[in-house]
Amino acid sequence: MARLDTPVMLKVSDITVGYGAITAVKGLSFEVREGEIVSLIGSNGAGKSTTLRTISGLMHPKTGSIEFRGEKIDGMPGHEIVAKGICHSPEGRRIFPRMSVDENLDLGAYLRKDSAAVKESRERVLELFPRLRERITQKAGTMSGGEQQMLAVGRALMGEPKLLIMDEPSMGLAPVLVDLIFETIETIRKSGVTILLVEQNALAALRIADYAYVLESGHLKLEGDGSKLAVDPAIAQAYLGG
């Protein structure tokens, strides 16, 4: 199916975002369509994580707007955005180290009231990440980096997202675990969840992306089908190590 035949889920229009006097994102516009994996790539400082934090309500744009399923969400508090169906697996995992795996997963579902549905979500997460089932009573801070990343993604999935935002899911992981994380991302998409991915491993991100946007110094530099950008010489030179 052509991209334009699919409804727009997330529409980011001309946003500018900054930290004090520093403007990290400058007039950025892009969209994510239902059922897609969309990747944002770019070098460090390009504004990728800031963009994700703004969509999640952790930051607010100075100008521009963000719409989710036709509803304006910029300016909404983060917990209301989660309730709309956007869940964020943050850079650096941000799990609660002194709490068990089980307790971390429970926190991912804190806004949900239907205990039977929460139980079903938990079972789906543990099927997706069997390692978490083995570690269910273990304190999260005592697990390996790969296990903590699985937990961060699992916790986000406990919110029953329509759009899952993932920030650097492969950072700091061994190559075998990087492959596993990317396979898992594709499995999550097949289950009906749309994915917006920021990833330093640009080639891997482009290979699984239906569509991708390249950011440079807070601006949109390029966009296109992930598979085409993956073989674009200019992208290879700038972001894929030549």
Instruction: Give pLDDT, residue 185.
Output: 93
Q: At what angle do helices 101-108 and 145-157 cross, to 10 degrees?
A: 30
Confidence of residue 110 (pLDDT cuts 50, 70, 90): confident
* Of 15, 22, 41, 45, the residue nearest 221 (C-alpha): 41
Q: How far is CA 187 from CA 8, 78, 109, in A?
A: 21, 26, 21
Given a cut of 60, whether residue 139 has pLDDT beyond it is yes
**In the chain, which ranges are continuous DSSP H helix?**
48-55, 78-84, 101-108, 115-128, 130-134, 145-157, 175-190, 202-208, 226-230, 233-239
Q: Are 199 and 169 in contact (CB under 8 A)?
A: yes
Instruction: Give pLDDT, residue 76.
Output: 94
CA distance 132 to 241: 34
Instruction: Give pLDDT, residue 161.
Output: 95
CA atoms within 13 A on the CB side of 194: 19
CA distance 89 to 149: 9
Instruction: Give pLDDT, residue 18.
Output: 92
Given a cut of 90, whether residue 10 has pLDDT beyond it is yes
CA distance 233 to 242: 8
Place of tokens 């990728």: 48
Instruction: Give pLDDT, residue 2.
Output: 64
Question: Which tokens in the block code for residue 50?
Answer: 């800031």
Confidence of residue 241 (pLDDT cuts 50, 70, 90): low
Of the two residues 182 and 3, the one the predictor is more confident about is 182
Given a cut of 90, whether residue 93 has pLDDT beyond it is no
Q: What percent of the chain has pLDDT over 70?
A: 97
Question: Which tokens in the block code for residue 210?
Answer: 């239906």
Q: Are 193 and 164 in contact (CB under 8 A)?
A: yes
Question: 181-215: b or e for each residue (b if 16 or more CB lie within 10 Å)?
Answer: bbebbeebbeeebbbbbbbbbbbbbbebbbbbbbb
pLDDT in tens, 40-91: 999 888 999 999 999 999 999 999 999 999 999 998 999 999 999 999 988 7
CA atoms within 13 A on the CB side of 89: 30
Distance of CA 127 to the CA centre of its chain: 20
What is the model's pTM? 0.91
Confidence of residue 173 (pLDDT cuts 50, 70, 90): confident
Q: Domains (ranges, CATH) in the chain?
A: 1-77+196-242 (3.40.50.300)
CA distance 235 to 58: 30
Question: Which tokens in the block code for residue 31?
Answer: 């969209």
Instruction: Give pLDDT, residue 158.
Output: 94
